[in-house]
């Protein structure tokens, strides 16, 4: 009697054909996110001359590379802040433009700059503040670290413990900052078109908000509240009739 909620309202990708195999069209995404202001970057520099690297990073220390041939130096234990002018401050090298570049582009830039200081420099750049947030009708709200640059919205929801019974699955809001401007889009987890959305893959600092259905009409069990009230009323009437016999 109370099974009023359609399975199509809670079943992900319910418009997929009922076949064992198939293919899904996905959005063409550049997975290398551009560096933005206030990003924290972790940078290591390797090279074939350890003495050069020690001189450049004497306050940090050295470490042996593979086979003891090269040495890597961690530049800054807490990373480098991309400042308001879009630049980072590198010892000896000075201020370097970072905003707008991808990780690999910044690595190439620093590699060319370090050629004046050491032989065969190798530079690695990683994000330290690579994370996203999930809010609303999920089981575990919070901020989560992104393990790679191909984190999907499905993985984000999974890390947040999945949606609750009150989640509106066809209207998930994703808020994204692009060049200092906030943008947003809504995606539908019930449709296969989700895979074609440019918001299927998350970017750093994205906020995923899961909107609840109208709480006044649906209970935590997924049963409309008026049905629960009706059931209580019928039970009360039945009890009164029984007692007055």
Kindly state whether residue 1 falls inside one of the protein's structural domains: no
Kindly state whether residue 215 falls inside one of the protein's structural domains: no
The angle formed by the CA atoms of residues 125, 26 and 209, to the nearest 5 degrees, is: 75
pLDDT at 1 over 60: no
As a whole number of angstroms, the distance between CA 209 and CA 57 comes to: 43
What's the alpha-carbon Rg for the chain, to the nearest Å? 27
Task: Please give the tally of structural domains in the chain.
Answer: 3
Give 62-102 pLDDT, tens digit per residue: 333 333 334 444 554 467 899 999 999 988 888 999 999 99
* Domain range enclosing 231: 221-245
- pTM value? 0.67
Looking at the structure, do residues 239 and 203 belong to the same domain, yes or no?
no
What's residue 85's pLDDT?
Answer: 95
Kindly state whether residue 81 falls inside one of the protein's structural domains: yes
As a whole number of angstroms, the distance between CA 173 and CA 68 comes to: 50
Give 199-242 pLDDT, tens digit per residue: 999 988 899 999 998 754 544 545 555 565 666 677 777 777 76
Domain boundary among 72, 104, 127: 127
- The share of the chain scoring above pLDDT 70, in percent, equals 70
Q: Is the distance from CB of 211 to CB of 171 less than 8 angstroms?
A: yes
Q: DSSP characters for 140-190?
A: S-EEEE-SSTT-BHHHHHHHTT-B-TTB-TT-EEEEEEETTEEEEEEE-TT
CATH number, position 181: 3.10.560.10
Kindly state whether residue 3 falls inside one of the protein's structural domains: no
Looking at the structure, do residues 107 and 139 belong to the same domain, yes or no?
no
**Structure tokens belonging to residue 229:** 């009230």
């Amino acid at each position: 009697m109370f099974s009023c909620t359609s399975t199509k309202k809670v079943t992900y990708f319910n418009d997929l054909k009922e076949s064992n195999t198939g293919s899904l069209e996905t959005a063409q995404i550049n997975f290398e996110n551009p560096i933005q202001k206030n990003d924290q970057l972790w940078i290591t520099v390797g090279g074939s001359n350890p003495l050069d690297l020690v001189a450049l990073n004497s306050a940090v220390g050295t470490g042996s590379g593979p086979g003891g041939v090269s040495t890597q130096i961690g530049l800054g234990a807490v990373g480098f802040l991309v400042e308001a002018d879009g630049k980072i401050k590198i010892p000896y090298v000075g201020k370097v433009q970072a905003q707008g570049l991808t990780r690999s582009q910044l690595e190439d830039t620093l590699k060319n700059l370090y050629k004046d200081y050491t032989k065969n420099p190798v530079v690695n750049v990683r994000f330290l503040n690579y994370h996203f947030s999930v809010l609303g009708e999920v089981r575990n709200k919070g901020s989560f670290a992104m393990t790679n640059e191909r984190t999907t919205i499905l993985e984000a929801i999974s890390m947040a413990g999945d949606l609750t019974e009150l989640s509106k699955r066809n209207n998930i809001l994703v808020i994204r900052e692009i060049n200092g401007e906030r943008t947003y889009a809504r995606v539908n987890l019930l449709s296969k078109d989700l895979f074609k959305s440019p918001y299927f893959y998350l970017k750093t600092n994205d906020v995923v908000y899961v909107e609840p259905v109208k709480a006044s009409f649906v209970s935590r069990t997924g049963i409309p509240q008026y049905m629960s009230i009706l059931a209580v009323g019928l039970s009360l009437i039945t009890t009164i009739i029984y007692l007055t016999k």
